[in-house]
């Protein structure tokens, strides 16, 4: 039977918040140097011995405007965070409710419990260390551990389509890609047709022009993918953001999520 993470967290956070207000103190304050940064786990030990994570997972902690986002490979916890006396306090926590295998569910419980235990916190440059009892979690700034890909000379494959608040996956068997080149040209595979054109790149926007593609008629999922892709690429200005190997393109309420591969 699946345990309720919100119930588990409520108990943990009640205890943490009770301990979070030292008498005679005005209360904790946001940690200097954490806000606006994301950290990825490099190791966890318990009593000096390695505590392996579930295969294919790592711990990701993001700190933004007083909010903490934590993910260990399945669900994501969001909470307010404060640091006082070199300890991390979280409150008002909630989690997503994705279906995951038992091992990742158990890792969720462990991670969220660890964060709710008021761990000691130490930031030394790009390294973040959290300690609770005999458990030590070491993390590295994401920009160091997993640097952003360059925009150009990368094959970017579309993995999701964004429409307002809805995000849908690309259907199996449909391949849509973009490849930007340093000479200002772009190659396109829409999921149905292929082609290319030119692109003007600034720090956070793209402007496509002179786009030409083949004219093969496609229906079904391939045709829908082409429609979604061209709706973004033919917009007057397209905003873009790269994080590690992920690229997001947005044109108003419509967008594309892409994953990069260094194979060009």
pLDDT of 19: 39
| Pair (12, 131) in one structural domain | yes
Instruction: Specify the 3-state DSSP secondary structure of 203.
Output: coil
Among candidate residues 122, 144, 166, the one where a domain is terminated: 144
Q: Which domain holds residue 205?
A: 155-261
Q: Dump the DSSP string for 10-24.
A: HHHHHHHHHTT--TT
**51, 135, 182, 194, 261 from 55: Cα distances, Å:** 12, 20, 37, 37, 22
Q: Which tens digits make up the pLDDT trace of 181-239?
A: 999 999 999 999 999 999 999 999 999 999 999 999 998 999 999 999 999 999 999 99
Whether residue 54 is found in the same domain as residue 126: yes
How far is residue 117's CA from residue 140's CA, in Å, rounded to a whole number?
A: 21
77-115 tens-digit pLDDT: 999 999 999 999 999 999 888 778 999 999 999 999 999
Residue 202 lies in a domain: yes
Same domain, 83 and 111: yes
Residue 125, domain member (yes or no): yes
**Domain membership flag for residue 149:** no
Q: Taking residues 160-175, what's their average pLDDT?
A: 92
Give me the CATH number covering residue 205: 2.40.128.270
Alpha-carbon span 218 to 193, nearest angstrom: 8
Asked whether residue 104 falls in the same domain as residue 228, the answer is no
Evaluate if pTM is beyond 0.75.
no
């Amino acid at each position: 039977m699946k345990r309720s993470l919100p119930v588990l967290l409520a108990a943990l956070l009640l205890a943490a918040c009770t301990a979070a207000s030292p008498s005679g103190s005005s209360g904790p304050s946001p940690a200097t140097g954490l806000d606006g940064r994301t950290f990825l786990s490099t190791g966890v030990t318990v009593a000096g011995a390695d505590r392996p994570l579930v295969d294919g997972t790592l711990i990701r902690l993001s700190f933004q405007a007083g909010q903490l986002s934590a993910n260990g490979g399945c669900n994501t916890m969001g909470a307010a965070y404060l640091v006082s006396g070199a300890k991390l306090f979280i409150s008002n926590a909630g989690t997503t409710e994705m279906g995951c295998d038992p091992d990742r569910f158990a890792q969720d419980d462990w991670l969220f419990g660890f964060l709710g235990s008021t761990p000691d916190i130490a930031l030394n440059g790009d390294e973040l260390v959290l300690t609770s009892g005999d458990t030590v979690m070491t993390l590295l700034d994401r920009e160091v551990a997993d640097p952003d890909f360059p925009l150009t000379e990368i094959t970017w494959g579309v993995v999701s389509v964004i429409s307002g608040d809805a995000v849908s996956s690309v259907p199996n068997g449909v391949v849509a890609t973009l490849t930007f080149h340093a000479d200002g040209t772009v190659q396109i595979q829409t999921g149905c047709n292929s082609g290319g054109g030119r692109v003007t790149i600034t720090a956070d926007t793209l402007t496509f022009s002179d786009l030409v593609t083949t004219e093969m008629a496609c229906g079904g999922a391939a045709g829908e993918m082409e429609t979604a892709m061209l709706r973004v690429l033919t917009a007057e200005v397209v905003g873009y953001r790269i994080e590690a190997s992920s690229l997001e393109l947005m044109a108003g309420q419509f967008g594309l999520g892409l994953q990069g591969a260094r194979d060009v």
